[in-house]
Structure 1
Amino acid sequence: MSLDALRANRSWRLLKAAVQRRAVFLIPTAALIGIVAGAVVAATTYSARALHRLLFALPEGERLSAQAALLDPRMALIPALGGVLVGLSIFFVRRFRSRPPVDPIEANALHGGRMSFRESVILAAQTLVSNGFGASVGLEAGYTQISAAVASWAGRVLELRRGDVRILVASGAAGAVAAAFDAPLTGAFYAFELILGTYTIAAVAPMMAAALAATLTANWLGAVQFSITIGEVETLQAADYVPFLLLGLVGGGAAILLMRLVTLVDWLYGRTGLRTEFRPLLGGLAVGAMALVTPQVLSSGNGALYFDLTAEPALSIIAGVLLLKVMSAAISLGSGFRGGLFFASLFVGGLLGTLFSALVAFVAPSVAAGPLETALVGMTAVATGVVGGPLTMTFLALEVSGDLALAGGVLAAAIVASVLVRETFGYSFSTWRLHLRGETIRSAQDVGWIRSLTVGSMMRTDVRTVPVDTSIAELKAAFPLGSTSRVVAVDGEGRYAGIVLLADAYGEREDPEAESQTDIGTLLKFSDEWLSQAMNARTAAGAFQRANAEELAVLDRDNRVVGLLTEGFLLRRYAEELEKVRRDLSGER
């Protein structure tokens, strides 16, 4: 059945009306999206591991990054081959589609949850190729993108309100993350903190329904998920939290360094003048060279993290792997491979925590926390700095480990890392990449309605203009007192010169002869203050405040007057839109 036929179906129309009018129907809709998300995660994970087995000759059940060495040195060229494929995809995508894909954070912040399904499929395919051929990136960017895009499509088909579409997009992302880690609370809070940008009662049930449905679906399909077993943890005393707070600072600093390195690599490629399509090839060669030293730099690093936490290798080896993993992740993403830093940040944080544990054991051997516990806290700290969700990472650490004894230490490190990154850097990895593209958003909080509330949509076009050389007497004759409050003066070429308040003209109290000889140039106000049609409400409000004006002219690119806008009308429209946002957040219909 086609989409048009579906929309014409009476049962479909009744279902659509029910979902639109009653918030409770969002819950089963989100659960269905969660089922899709769980299937997407299972299929993506299976496909990536199948590529690993095929390309790197891995035994069944083995992880690529957990290998001690490559079976054949020639396998170090496989990431470069993946770079060729990614470069080709970049070439064809740019040839036929110029707009970059919109991720869930950007979609919810600026576009009311609207995402392109086709562009999302392309990004997910690039992510799968990047990870499958060994680039040091995670799969989370791919399956989160697809799951959120499915949710966005469902919201458009059901013709839901802006706020409901945003909730469904967040639910799709929640389901993807929950399925990947077998952690429903982590998925839900990932959506709250990163995709929706706020916690609302109206969104709790849909988020949890999607997260639970996705987790159950992924389990049923046999998806291999991320888990850590740390055994019984000793009871922590107050003094034991001090190292965790310090590790939070170190982890936050490492997160900033990792994000900066990605940007540095991208900048260095730009300085060379090399075409974007060829950059993944060089990045793949660099990653392959590091894989000859240790395959732990390949892919997301799940297997390597589990191996390093259980096999307890020498500290020198851990330090070397840590350095190589940071370099390989930065080179992979900076050169153009598609993927995320979520899993890489967990790996880096785990290794950093292990090294920090050795330092603590040397300086303060009485501290109760051991290497595994400290590694878990280090994972939380670095991932919080990169991903940007302290509660998300706290729940992840607790759900994958199954131990609540570390709750205080994990949360403390997450908060410290979050504060450090926010105060010194200001962005998570996702919002930092948007910042480099010229966007100003710092979270997924909905600011798109502010951008759509432009001066051009609010101005009135019935503008009364007079030449700037008009005399005061002529102005009074043309505009009797009470006919209008202000007129716009223009020069001989029709360009804006300023605004004349009729109260000023009639308040001169001069004799008729003087008024006939004096032009209105002496009465001009706001000659240097005006608005453009593209200004949003927030920028326009600042212009009114600077000018201390009640009404300003709106000009085009040639400085010709196209309209007028009053401050009172601007504030009233802003308040109306703000009330709509409040109703969306509270779930009011």
Structure 2
Amino acid sequence: MDSHKIRNRALFLAAVVFTGALAGAFVWAFFFLMNIGLNFIWKTLPEKTGFAFFPLVVCIVGGLVIGLYEKRFGPYPEDLNSVMKKVKENGRYEYSDIGVSSVAALLPLLFGGSIGPEAGLTGAIAGLCTWVGDRMKRFGSDFKNLTSIGTSAALSAIFTAPLFGFAAPIYGSCEDNQDDDVLVLPKTSKIVVYLCAIAGALGAFMGLGALFGGGMGLPRFTDISIGAVELVWLLPITLVGAAGGWLYHLFDRFSLGFSTLLGDRPVVKAVIGGAVLASCGMVLPFTMFAGESQVHTLSGIWMTMPALVLLLTGFAKLFTTPFCIRTGWRGGHFFPVIFSGISIGYGCAMLTGADPVFCLCACTAAVCGGVMRQPLMAVLLLFLCFPVKGVVVMLVGAIIGSAIPLPGFLKPDPEIDNLKPSSLKTD
């Protein structure tokens, strides 16, 4: 191997680690700003104002801000599937609107939206990595892979789930190219490259969190007991979770139909979305927000709550999430869906007397499997909070959840769900 190729490969690996660290730092900064804003809006302001219907006021104001922002700039951010599809098909993601998209991703989270941050973050980081790759392509066209690599690193940092971050973008993201001018990464080398990027992302994310605080993270459930009682209840609990996954698609189609009925009125839709979100939140408080910090709270108080409230909270959140997204409170659905599965799982544990963590594993995996329709990816995602000892339970739940068929009218429509923001801008 000549010195030119050695230099380019060394430079490429350095760029990979840098890309991963950049993704991790960006995720940390986003969460840091988000936590500051949430504390101010939802802790400081209520103490100073004392409004009786504070959530309703904040969510309606939030809907107004979100709607006006969309009317000015368009429906940002794009959903995660759209970002991943573009990265896989084009090997890049346009970065001209990174700032606009990042602010659009932050606004609904600050105002209590029942959404996750992964959609806006992944798009912003994919754009940043494309920008870096464009400026380094003179060192070799292999640098076009930085976009896919950065996407992998971003997902790993967002969910602190390296296996999910590794698997989600790599399938089909890099095709073999026989051009002699392109560095063709063999399978083993590709794995090493992605793992280096993930290590850089997690290192930067966790390092900044340790130094300055901030970040997100679901609690780790470690003690699981599987005995005769749990095995008896495995199928019923899984079916309850699978029903939640099925209902998510029903709620999503209803929300899409409602949004379509309102037409091109982003402000009206966002205000209605905020009013519905706040109304649900005043009855069942855990139906608001992404769900990450709420899981920590719920895990400490669930035994003091009626089983019916736990079940209703989980199923209601499966409604508020797609309703928020379809009415302009755009974001991801992974964190809220995981919270829903955990809440429903606690309700099942209360009713059956089975081991709580067992119920959480089975129910959450079934909900995620039903929503994602990809059982393996659902299990890889859930390793961020559930023990490896529960992998068989999670596989069973995810497979059953994804196996329950969806009628044609509930199946996602790419022509509707993956529209480009630029094609939907309002005057």
Aligned residue in 2 for 1:228: 219
Secondary structure of the corresponding residue to residue 136 of structure 1: coil
Aligned residue in 1 for 2:181: none
Flag the 1:438–1:399 CA change in 2: closer, same or farther, 3 A. Answer: closer
Flag the 1:107–1:319 CA change in 2: closer, same or farther, 3 A. Answer: same
Aligned residue in 2 for 1:124: 102
For 1:130-209, list aligned pairs within 5 A: 130-159=108-137, 165=144, 167-192=145-170, 200-209=187-196
- Residue 206 of structure 1, CA deviation: 2.2
Counterpart pick for 2:245 among 242, 246, 255: 255
Secondary structure of the corresponding residue to residue 117 of structure 1: coil
- Paired with 2:408 and 2:187, the residues of 1 have a C-alpha distance of 24
Bigger RCO (CA 8 Å, 6+ sep): 2
- Paired with 2:106 and 2:71, the residues of 1 have a C-alpha distance of 17
Q: Deviations over 1:195-228 (max 9, x none)?
A: 7799954431222112221111111111333132
- Residue 353 of structure 1, CA deviation: 1.9
- Paired with 1:303 and 1:151, the residues of 2 have a C-alpha distance of 29
Secondary structure of the corresponding residue to residue 96 of structure 2: helix
Flag the 1:381–1:212 CA change in 2: closer, same or farther, 3 A. Answer: farther
Q: Deviations over 1:111-145 (max 9, x none)?
A: x1221213343222111001111111111112121
Contact 2:370–2:401 under 8 Å retained in 1? yes
Contact 1:175–1:214 under 8 Å retained in 2? yes
Structure whose CA Rg is larger: 1
- Paired with 1:128 and 1:300, the residues of 2 have a C-alpha distance of 12
Flag the 1:268–1:53 CA change in 2: closer, same or farther, 3 A. Answer: same
Flag the 1:162–1:49 CA change in 2: closer, same or farther, 3 A. Answer: same
Counterpart pick for 1:56 among 17, 22, 42: 42
- Residue 28 of structure 1, CA deviation: 3.1
- Paired with 1:261 and 1:247, the residues of 2 have a C-alpha distance of 21
- Paired with 1:143 and 1:245, the residues of 2 have a C-alpha distance of 36
Aligned residue in 1 for 2:316: 324
- Residue 32 of structure 1, CA deviation: 1.2
* Structure 1, unaligned runs of 5 or more: 1-14, 65-69, 362-368, 440-589
Contact 2:84–2:169 under 8 Å retained in 1? no
Aligned residue in 2 for 1:88: 68
Pairwise CA RMSD of aligned residues? Answer: 3.7
Flag the 1:244–1:109 CA change in 2: closer, same or farther, 3 A. Answer: farther
For 1:507-526, list aligned pairs within 5 A: none
What is the number of residues matched between the two proteins?
Answer: 398
Secondary structure of the corresponding residue to residue 91 of structure 2: coil
Letter in 1 for 2:86: A
Counterpart pick for 1:336 among 328, 332, 351: 328
- Paired with 2:24 and 2:257, the residues of 1 have a C-alpha distance of 37
Aligned residue in 2 for 1:299: 289
Contact 1:33–1:147 under 8 Å retained in 2? no
- Paired with 2:257 and 2:142, the residues of 1 have a C-alpha distance of 37
Letter in 2 for 1:335: T
- Paired with 1:127 and 1:194, the residues of 2 have a C-alpha distance of 27
Q: Deviations over 1:251-292 (max 9, x none)?
A: 344223213312321212322446133211111111122222
Aligned residue in 2 for 1:108: 87
Q: Are residue 45 (structure 1) and residue 31 (structure 2) matched?
A: yes
Q: Are residue 406 (structure 1) and residue 390 (structure 2) matched?
A: yes
Letter in 1 for 2:364: M
- Paired with 2:187 and 2:337, the residues of 1 have a C-alpha distance of 28
Contact 2:379–2:394 under 8 Å retained in 1? yes
Secondary structure of the corresponding residue to residue 173 of structure 1: helix
Counterpart pick for 2:341 among 331, 349, 357: 349
Q: Deviations over 1:312-369 (max 9, x none)?
A: 22212212322332232122111111111011110111122223334544xxxxxxx5
Q: Deviations over 1:471-521 (max 9, x none)?
A: xxxxxxxxxxxxxxxxxxxxxxxxxxxxxxxxxxxxxxxxxxxxxxxxxxx
Secondary structure of the corresponding residue to residue 383 of structure 2: helix
Greater percentage in helix: 2
For 1:17-36, list aligned pairs within 5 A: 18=5, 22=9, 26-36=12-22
Counterpart pick for 1:416 among 400, 406, 411: 400
In terms of mean alpha carbon deviation, does 33-42 or 241-250 score higher? 241-250
Contact 2:94–2:127 under 8 Å retained in 1? yes
Greater percentage in strand: 1
Letter in 1 for 2:70: I
Provide TM-score, normalisation by structure 2: 0.80
Aligned residue in 2 for 1:372: 357
In terms of mean alpha carbon deviation, does 343-352 or 243-252 score higher? 243-252
